[in-house]
Amino acid sequence: MNEMSTTAFEPIKPFLAALARTNQFMVGQCEKWVALHMNSLKSYIDLGVAQVKVAAKVVDPHNLHEFSDSQFAVASFVGHRILDDGRAAVEWGADCYAQANRLARQNALGFLFKY
């Protein structure tokens, strides 16, 4: 009975192996995506908290003028940071596509030629 149950799963072992590789790939890509976005989120939150602290120190018109002038630099920094985050997301997407394509080919070749 045990002999029959172990041999019954032999035909689907390649499918299970391919599924396991695909799942590992997907989990790895999700981890990279989350890390990428969490780093961006942390930097935006840190910048926002710093801006609130600076805004809280405004007590007279002169400080308000200096604060408003500094906001142009902050807006420029945020714009560049958004562009950098977009580039990083595009690089992640291209890398993910290339790895998924390689994995799909590997799985297909494994099914077709069973080597």
Higher pLDDT, 42 or 10: 42
User: What's the helix, strand, coil split of the chain in %, to 5?
Assistant: 95, 0, 5
DSSP state for residue 73 in the 8-state scheme: H
Could you give the CA distance from residue 18 to residue 23 in angstroms, rounded to a whole number?
A: 9
CB count, 10 Å around CB of 40?
17
Could you give the CA distance from residue 103 to residue 27 in angstroms, rounded to a whole number?
A: 14
Percent over 70 (pLDDT), the chain = 93
pLDDT of 3: 63
| Residues 99-114 pLDDT 10s | 999 999 998 888 888 6
pLDDT of 4: 60
